[in-house]
Structure 1
Amino acid sequence: MRRILYIFLSFFLWSEAMAQLVPYRIFTKEGEEVAFEAISTAASNHEVILFGELHNNSMVHWFQLQLLKNLIDVNVNLILGGEFFETDDQLNIDEWFSGKITDKSFEAEAKLWKNYKQDYRPLMMFAMGRDVPFVATNIPRKYASAVSREGMDILDTFSEEAKRYIAPLPIVVDKELPGYAAMANMMHGSSMEPDHMIEAQAIKDATMAHSILKNLPSEGLFLHINGAYHSNDYEGIAWYLRHYDPEIKVMTITAVEQEDIQSLDEASFHKADFIILLPVDSPKSY
């Protein structure tokens, strides 16, 4: 009898230890746990997927690559796009994808994020190998920086050539949106002008939404990679997509970290259609 109890207890403790080693969990917005495949299945009913990432979390980037692979198998007209390239890099990307310039030339001329090679290049290489176009969606940083200093009106002073890389002006900004309002509260006491910082965030969100809509495939799907704060709570890019096209079908994914991933904290419910829950000590690229 003691031996049976010992075996049972050992198995129970082993099971508990293994449960702690699960590297991720996925939940719906209501907190129901689902398999990764549920994301790919749900995607087929939408036109745009906004995959909100934690920029330095390597597990999130692995998920993005797996989702891309799954979607390629079921979507003939698939387009990949991302915040991590600015709209004025599109020519470089097109020349690289078409084989007109080398990897070395592309990486020398494009504005690469510091974790590009580890986290984003695998996505680009896989898309290139499967003839999936890539769209650079983010506003050139110099214009967003100008807005953060001077406010949205500064954009009117730029040339028509410059405005080609920005969402059409004027840009509607709802500063009462919870995400933007929280940004203003965080800046209380800062030397920066909160309204200008909100406008800088909004011009990024609006430009990414405009870039997506401008390149939306017919009878297809646009998978967009962006920081989670650009689409959490269906704000940011998601808000501008609906602003420009109220009928558009958008699905959102976000990633959150917790010390304990046995269940999703209620604070993360409804952040997105699907929430990928990761341990705080999951691998980081920087």
Structure 2
Amino acid sequence: MIKYLLAVLICCSSIFYSYSQTQAFKIFDKEGNEVSFEMMAESAGQHELVFFGELHNNSIVHWLQLRLLKELHRQNRPVILAGEFFERDDQINIVEWFSGKMTDKTFESESKLWNNYLTDYKPLMLYAKNNSIPFFATNIPRKYASLVSREGLGSLESLGPDAKNYFPPLPIEVDKSLPGYVGMKDMMHGSGMNVDYMVEAQAVKDATMAYSLHGHLKGNTVLHINGSYHSNNYEGIVWYIQKDYPETSIMTINTVEQEDIQVLEEKSKNTADFIIVIPNDGPKSY
């Protein structure tokens, strides 16, 4: 009898393990309690600013972003889409494409697209375009971030007035004691690069994305798409928003990969209001 029960338990465990390994994702709150997508979406609709921190190449997460955008659109509160995946100097192309003055082909040839735009970001853009949801590019043009990585934040002072329209007014404050920036410096130690300049390049991206959102906060839910490292632990873009607009209601989402998605790992708890867990071997676009 004992051998029979043991065999049944082993069989049930195998079935459960097999089922758990075919689940595409799980969502947890910051304490590690499992929640539904619908609960996360309902919470998002109650905030002015929602940072959806992604792993750039994770296809499941991009599908969840589209689902969240659709759910927010279904709610009564006005919704705006914004994202790191377009730079601010592409905004005119986006406006012209959204208004029908530019074809898909022309828009995609004229704009600086990420290599997974067609598979991962275009569905978001098309849904926004087709449903009259405004989209705002928030990232600093890469040539200016690259300049900072080589010469530091002070190098932006030498640029002309037109260039300065694409990032916040100077000087830009950087708190290099923030754990995320400290961790970045530690990780790059011994690389041969100027780690202070690299942190400043990261910070100018964070500051620019925050600055790009300033005019769109009141009365809307802004869904902002960005790499998780730009909003994890309520640092990065969130730090700049809270510095300038401390009354803004903010919700953050982090994305992590785990071998076993059934329980949130301790290291990921409290990194965001909601944490999406994806299997390590989940589909990737590159």
Instruction: Please indicate, yes or no, whether the TM-score normalized by the shorter chain is above 0.5.
Output: yes
State the Cα distance separating 1:214 from its structure 2 match.
Answer: 2.4
- 8 Å contact kept, 1:75–1:221: no
- Secondary structure at the aligned position of 2:125 is classed as helix
Partner of 2:249: 249
1:183 equivalenced with 2:184 (yes/no): yes
- Secondary structure at the aligned position of 2:261 is classed as coil
1:258 equivalenced with 2:249 (yes/no): no
State the Cα distance separating 1:13 from its structure 2 match.
Answer: 3.5
CA separation of 1:7/1:186 partners in 2, compared to 1, >3 Å: closer, same or farther? closer
Q: Quick one: distance in 2 between partners of 1:75 and 1:151?
A: 44
State the Cα distance separating 1:215 from its structure 2 match.
Answer: 2.9
Partner of 1:230: 230
Alignment of 1:207-218 (within 5 A): 207-216=208-217, 218=218
Over residues 92-127 of structure 1, what are the superposed CA-to-partner deviations in whole Å (9 max), with x where a residue is unaligned? Answer: 000000000100110010000000000000000011
Q: Which runs of 5+ in 1 are unaligned?
A: none
Task: Please tell me the residue identity of whatever aligns with 1:269.
Answer: K
Q: Which runs of 4+ in 1 moved over 4 A?
A: 4-12
- Secondary structure at the aligned position of 1:175 is classed as coil
1:284 equivalenced with 2:279 (yes/no): no
CA separation of 1:8/1:143 partners in 2, compared to 1, >3 Å: closer, same or farther? closer
Q: TM-score, normalised by structure 2?
A: 0.95
1:170 equivalenced with 2:171 (yes/no): yes
Q: TM-score, normalised by structure 1?
A: 0.95
- 8 Å contact kept, 1:75–1:220: no
Q: Quick one: distance in 2 between partners of 1:194 and 1:277?
A: 31
Partner of 2:80: 79
State the Cα distance separating 1:260 from its structure 2 match.
Answer: 1.1
Task: Please tell me the residue identity of whatever aligns with 2:252.
Answer: T
Partner of 2:194: 193
- Secondary structure at the aligned position of 2:91 is classed as helix
1:102 equivalenced with 2:92 (yes/no): no
Over residues 165-195 of structure 1, what are the superposed CA-to-partner deviations in whole Å (9 max), with x where a residue is unaligned? Answer: 1112111100000000111111111221111
Q: Quick one: distance in 1 between partners of 2:117 and 2:257?
A: 22
Partner of 1:114: 115
Q: Quick one: distance in 2 between partners of 1:121 and 1:285?
A: 13
Q: Which runs of 5+ in 2 are unaligned?
A: none
Q: Quick one: distance in 1 between partners of 2:191 and 2:202?
A: 17
- Secondary structure at the aligned position of 1:31 is classed as coil
- Secondary structure at the aligned position of 1:148 is classed as helix
Partner of 1:219: 219
Greater shift, 190-199 or 108-117, is seen at: 190-199
State the Cα distance separating 1:10 from its structure 2 match.
Answer: 4.5
What fraction of aligned residue pairs are identical, expressed as a percent? 57
Count, aligned residues: 284
Q: Quick one: distance in 2 between partners of 1:75 and 1:49?
A: 16
Partner of 1:14: 15
CA separation of 1:174/1:8 partners in 2, compared to 1, >3 Å: closer, same or farther? closer
Alignment of 1:134-145 (within 5 A): 134-145=135-146
Q: Quick one: distance in 2 between partners of 1:184 and 1:18?
A: 41
Partner of 1:67: 68
Task: Please tell me the residue identity of whatever aligns with 1:201.
Answer: Q
Greater shift, 100-109 or 7-16, is seen at: 7-16
State the Cα distance separating 1:23 from its structure 2 match.
Answer: 1.6
- 8 Å contact kept, 1:86–1:138: yes
Task: Please tell me the residue identity of whatever aligns with 1:59.
Answer: I
